[in-house]
């Protein structure tokens, strides 16, 4: 467990949590740049937590904005641009009057993938693709403040009234898997525990977890850290076994499908999202490639970006050579088979000393899935508390016992009565 340096423990009577935080903030402000670089900035620094939550607030609002515009005949590229513009403008308003420049803005460009399209669809300005009534829309986006990243992914069906049938099944599968993952991404648990659990949840809804989707630890300016949670474990896709630790941050990425869960790249020309590979070097031959790579290095040195943000006429030709020589990492647009339905839930979670703090999310539409969760193991996972129970000590104040009991069970119990004899836990039907 990592602790804050130079902060004395609170042993004096009446020494409040507020005083501890104030001291930690003074420590962070007075620490030299060299000390900050030597000491990895994690959640033990209150200022770091604030930046994560500021980024989360912006990306949650951006998601709400894009969702409000998702209607029949809306152009997908227009929605993507609105999401990106909102994140850029809102993040630009923060930390304007600080001595040292703080980077902030888009951590992952807005993507809107529809129906059997799995991920990363963020078209160029010339694209005319529009949404239609009944589309299953998956929105994916990210924001960062000083390199501290918050990402979110959400699935919405363009229709009035509750979502039913297989569409409800696949969304409920993704959301239930996300709820289980939230409770298993905690200290002393391992990445393989999450992989096994989410596959079991998807199977309960007669769906599949989509292969090739990775959940990553995130650090400052690192959206895809070395600690990884596989969506599906196979001989072809193996990662090192890892244990979750306090003060870590994770992007949990769940994608479910009514199909086989083995998406394919159909058209490389659809790829528009890239990330610079900072550890690669190559002397580009084409002038267009050198021009584009220079622009990328200046504008997007670390975070993923959309080709829409580049000079479009030169971009396509120049990007190809950059990708061929591994200077850029592409995020391909993948598809399940026509007729398959795909749902996506992504969230950012902070592993705080008092439990897991999910900082990005959006409420689901009402779902009426054809399947219900009756597996005892899944129910047991869902009943796990998200926050740690407070350690007792001393006499409890009179009249507070009942309130405390409610607080301790708030994260563990389903809430909100729904029709047909179900309770709802974040949109998950539990019988």
> pLDDT tens digit string along 75-92?
999 999 999 999 999 999
Cite the residue boundaries of each domain of the chain with CATH code 3.90.230.10: 46-268+333-388+411-430
Least confident of 38-52, 200-214, 388-402, 403-417: 403-417
Q: Which of 302, 242, 251, 220 is nearest to 40 (CA)?
A: 220
Residue carrying structure tokens 């508390």: 385
pLDDT band at residue 408 using 50, 70 and 90 as cut-offs: very low
Enter the pTM of the model.
0.82
Phi, psi of 161 (to 5 degrees): 85, 180
Give pLDDT, residue 155.
99
Residue 70 pLDDT greater than 80, yes or no: yes
| CATH among 1.20.1260.10, 3.40.190.10, 3.30.565.10, 3.90.230.10 for 46-268+333-388+411-430 | 3.90.230.10
Q: Please state, in angstroms and as integers, the Cα–Cα distance from residue 40 to each residue in 29, 33, 54, 113, following that order.
A: 15, 12, 20, 35
Q: Are the C-beta atoms of 108 and 76 separated by less than 8 Å?
A: no
Cite the residue boundaries of each domain of the chain with CATH code 1.10.10.10: 273-331
Q: Tens digits of per-residue pLDDT, 357-369?
A: 999 999 999 999 9
Give pLDDT, residue 198.
98
Give pLDDT, residue 290.
94
- Tell me what the mean pLDDT of segment 227-233 comes to: 94
Q: Are the C-beta atoms of 204 and 173 separated by less than 8 Å?
A: yes
Which of the pair, 20 or 268, is modelled with greater confidence? 268
Give pLDDT, residue 390.
55
Give pLDDT, residue 38.
54
pLDDT band at residue 239 using 50, 70 and 90 as cut-offs: confident
Residue 423 pLDDT greater than 50, yes or no: no
Q: What's the CATH number for 273-331?
A: 1.10.10.10
């Amino acid at each position: 467990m990592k602790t804050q340096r130079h902060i004395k423990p609170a042993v004096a009577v009446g020494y409040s949590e507020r005083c501890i935080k104030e001291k930690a903030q003074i420590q962070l402000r007075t620490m030299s740049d060299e000390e900050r670089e030597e000491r990895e900035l994690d959640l033990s620094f209150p200022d770091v937590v604030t930046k994560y939550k500021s980024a989360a607030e912006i990306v949650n609002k951006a998601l709400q904005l894009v969702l409000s515009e998702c209607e029949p005949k809306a152009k997908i590229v227009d929605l993507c641009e609105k999401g990106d513009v909102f994140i850029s403008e809102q993040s630009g308003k923060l930390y304007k009057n600080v001595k040292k420049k703080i980077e902030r803005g888009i951590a992952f460009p807005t993507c809107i993938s529809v129906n059997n399209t799995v991920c990363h669809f963020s078209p160029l300005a010339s694209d005319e693709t529009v949404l239609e009534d009944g589309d299953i829309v998956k929105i994916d986006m990210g924001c960062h403040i000083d390199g501290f990243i918050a990402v979110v992914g959400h699935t919405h069906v363009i229709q009035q009234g509750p979502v039913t049938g297989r569409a409800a099944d696949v969304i409920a599968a993704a959301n239930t898997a996300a709820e289980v993952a939230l409770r298993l991404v905690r200290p002393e648990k391992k990445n393989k525990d999450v992989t096994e659990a989410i596959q079991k949840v998807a199977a309960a809804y007669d769906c599949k977890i989509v292969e090739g989707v990775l959940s990553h630890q995130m650090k400052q300016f690192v959206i895809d850290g070395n600690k990884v949670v596989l969506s599906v474990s196979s001989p072809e896709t193996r990662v090192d076994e890892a244990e979750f630790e306090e003060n870590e941050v994770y992007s949990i990425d769940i994608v479910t499908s009514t199909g086989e869960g083995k998406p394919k790249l159909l058209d490389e020309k659809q790829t528009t999202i890239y990330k610079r590979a900072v550890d690669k070097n190559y002397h580009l031959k084409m002038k267009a490639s050198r021009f584009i790579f220079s622009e990328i290095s200046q504008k997007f040195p670390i975070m993923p970006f959309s080709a829409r943000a580049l000079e479009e006429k030169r971009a396509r030709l120049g990007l190809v050579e950059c990708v061929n020589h591994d200077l850029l990492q592409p995020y391909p647009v993948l598809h399940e088979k026509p007729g398959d339905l795909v749902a996506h839930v992504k969230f950012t979670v902070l592993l705080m000393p008092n439990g897991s703090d999910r900082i990005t999310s959006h409420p689901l539409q009402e779902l009426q899935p054809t399947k219900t969760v009756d597996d005892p193991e899944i129910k047991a996972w869902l009943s796990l508390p998200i926050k740690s129970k407070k350690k007792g000590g001393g006499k409890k104040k009179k009249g507070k016992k009942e309130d405390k009991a409610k607080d301790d069970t708030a994260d563990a119990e389903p809430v909100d009565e729904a029709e047909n004899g179900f309770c709802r836990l974040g949109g998950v039907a539990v019988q």
